[in-house]
Structure 1
């Protein structure tokens, strides 16, 4: 089976990621090899999919709980969680603090955190008031213990590389994100 897969990718600069969970027999019935341009090495050993991960992060909605669709593997042939970790390690993105990740919580979640400290009058508070109350009553460490979701954010280095490879973003199909 590996020989068949290798024939699809013999001319690719980087060999594709194929998940151990992929059903190769089913895939080989109607194979769609990853386009060669998606597997070419860019600056700093990045791939096209890395640029698209950075593009997704820049919207401010990408979190530690974001689900990775199959197109990361099937269209761009990368192990997306591993590549995301590498983007953070290389300084293209950071994982936000608990305070910086408050925009990923709804009002009820914020109220529950505040209630844990006995804060009252929460039902009259607007989102900005809830955030301020959290800042007033919690340290980063205390707040971090109440929820695990964290946002990702581009660093200036990430913004720069995203701008450098805008053509990759431009040729990627767009959905309303």
Structure 2
């Protein structure tokens, strides 16, 4: 049974479970077994694979680079680079089923390795709408904002409120790719080049 790197993404699985063993057997000739969510119905998924209605993660997606990341990490980094990814963003199904990674875990790893960072509350104001910004200013009894547009509301909030005050008012945070992350995408362009493109 292929247990290479199983501690990295699949430590939650019971290797004595028959369905888990069958999954690991299917991926026996892979560099490592793709991430299997604890919510996945393994019995049904295995059935769909056997009748050809479900596909396996491509073998190339499970080969780690020297930085100890997988192609799926690069796709997530590419998504972050658009500037629209937040801590409330949904991780598409393809991260698990096409790239074999746990999206949320991969996000943590990208930050730990210095390829992406979570923005402060101050730097995340752009993700709020004008009504939300006005509500924050009203909470702190600021004045003169009623006719302001979003860019002006953001500037007023940055000028009048501290990071601590803002952080206590909303939990939404954006993410930003770092120069090291940009360099990583440039070093390994193939996964992004192959990925189906749409506007994010």
TM-score (norm 2): 0.85
Native 8 Å contact 1:14 1:41 kept in 2: no
Residues 1-177 of structure 1: matches in 2 within 5 Å? 1-31=19-49, 32-177=55-200
| SS of equivalent to 1:153 | strand
Deviation at 1:118, TM superposition (A): 1.3
- Distance (whole Å) between structure 2 residues aligned to residue 110 and residue 37 of structure 1: 45
- Distance (whole Å) between structure 2 residues aligned to residue 142 and residue 176 of structure 1: 34
**Following superposition, which runs of at least 4 residues in structure 1 exceed 6 angstroms of deviation?**
none
CA RMSD of superposed structures (Å): 1.0
- Distance (whole Å) between structure 2 residues aligned to residue 123 and residue 170 of structure 1: 46
| SS of equivalent to 2:87 | coil
Native 8 Å contact 2:20 2:42 kept in 1: no
Deviation at 1:162, TM superposition (A): 0.8
Q: Which runs of 5+ in 1 are unaligned?
A: none
Higher RCO by CA contacts (8 Å cutoff, separation 6 or greater): 1
- Distance (whole Å) between structure 2 residues aligned to residue 96 and residue 39 of structure 1: 30
Alignment: residue pair count: 177
TM-score (norm 1): 0.96
